[in-house]
């Protein structure tokens, strides 16, 4: 395999330092002169490396100020049905959840139909704000059948419900159906996530299934578009 050009090697080294937490989001990188000395290369090579990282949205250059690490966007892989914590496990960040509501109630007709239960069945309703470091990035509402999870607790929902379902309950999560909609944020989302009322956000509706086809959750997430990007792989069907 051909050896990577020096500017690519330097770009990769800087990315590794960012992932290791040596440089944090919003923090300035060393000057070009310091980077030249650190890597023993020319100014041109350093500039090529920085240019590549700026184009990759890893860094941003501020005129007259310097080069800074960009705020991390969570890469939300639509094909991976994973928890908030699992999606962030590769990043050097701290996460936590603030629970706004944790109650046992009965569902509306819409929620009952989504969970494939009756309006008389009892459910858990949980509302929580999810944080990356101290930055609130999503407001989540979750509805789950009480009959499936009679021992669901406030403490569980401060962490990962999927870890509880698979680890403690030994249930096998199979798949989800997801719907993504760009919307203007409701007032509560504006207040909880600290965003302008006219800033579009992403609403994601999720219906989760166990391996036996049982619906175990229905949830609605409001994501700050400034903190998330959604990716998927589309394959073309070939007709021969």
Q: Are 124 and 146 in contact, with CB atoms under 8 Å apart?
A: yes
Name residue 73's beta-bridge partners.
none
Question: Which residue, among 128, 162, 154, 132, has the nearest Cα to 142 in the 3D structure?
Answer: 128
Q: How far apart are CA 169 and CA 216, in angstroms?
A: 12
Q: What is the pLDDT of residues 46-72, one digit of tens each?
A: 999 999 998 888 888 888 888 988 866
**So what's the pLDDT on residue 125?**
98
User: How far does Cα 141 stand from its chain's mean position?
Assistant: 15
User: How far does Cα 6 stand from its chain's mean position?
Assistant: 33
| Residue 204, CA distances (Å) to 148, 194, 197, 199, 215 in order | 23, 19, 18, 16, 17
Question: Which residue, among 102, 173, 188, has the nearest Cα to 138 in the 3D structure?
Answer: 188
Name residue 124's beta-bridge partners.
104, 144
SS3 content of the chain, % helix, strand, coil (to 5): 30, 35, 40
Show the domains of the chain with their CATH numbers. 6-69 (1.10.10.10), 74-231 (3.40.1410.10)
Burial class (CB within 10 angstroms; exposed 0-12, middle 13-18, buried 19+) of 155: exposed
Residue 217 has pLDDT above 80, yes or no: yes
Q: Which of 31-35, 45-49, 196-200, 233-237 has the lowest mean pLDDT?
A: 233-237
Residue 1 has pLDDT above 50, yes or no: no
Residue 130 has pLDDT above 80, yes or no: yes
Query: What are 190's two structure tokens?
Result: 């504006």
- The sign of the CA dihedral 163, 164, 167, 172 is negative
**Most confident listed range (144-148, 173-177, 179-183):** 144-148
Q: How far apart are CA 22 and CA 72, in angstroms?
A: 14
Q: What is the pLDDT of residues 16-51, one digit of tens each?
A: 888 787 888 788 899 999 999 999 999 999 999 999
């Amino acid at each position: 395999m051909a050896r990577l050009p020096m500017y690519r090697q330097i770009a990769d080294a800087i990315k590794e330092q960012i992932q290791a937490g040596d440089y944090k989001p919003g923090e300035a990188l060393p000057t070009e002169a310091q980077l030249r000395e650190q890597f023993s290369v020319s100014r041109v090579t350093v500039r090529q490396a920085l240019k590549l990282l700026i184009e990759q949205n890893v860094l941003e250059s501020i005129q007259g100020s310097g080069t800074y690490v960009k705020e991390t966007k969570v890469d939300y892989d639509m094909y991976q049905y994973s928890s908030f914590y699992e999606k962030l496990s590769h990043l050097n960040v701290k996460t936590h959840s603030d629970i706004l509501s944790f109650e046992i109630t009965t569902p509306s007709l819409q929620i009952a139909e989504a969970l494939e239960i009756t309006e008389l069945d009892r459910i858990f309703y949980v509302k929580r704000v999810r944080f990356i470091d101290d930055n609130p990035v999503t407001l989540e509402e979750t509805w789950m059948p009480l009959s499936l999870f009679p021992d669901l607790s406030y403490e569980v929902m401060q962490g990962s419900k999927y870890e509880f379902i698979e680890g403690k309950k030994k249930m096998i999560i199979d798949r989800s159906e997801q719907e993504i909609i760009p919307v203007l944020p409701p007032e509560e989302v504006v207040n909880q996530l600290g965003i302008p009322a006219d800033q579009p956000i992403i609403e994601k509706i999720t219906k989760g299934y166990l391996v036996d086809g049982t619906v175990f959750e229905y949830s609605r997430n409001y994501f700050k578009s400034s903190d998330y990007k959604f990716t998927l792989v589309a394959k073309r069907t070939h007709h021969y």
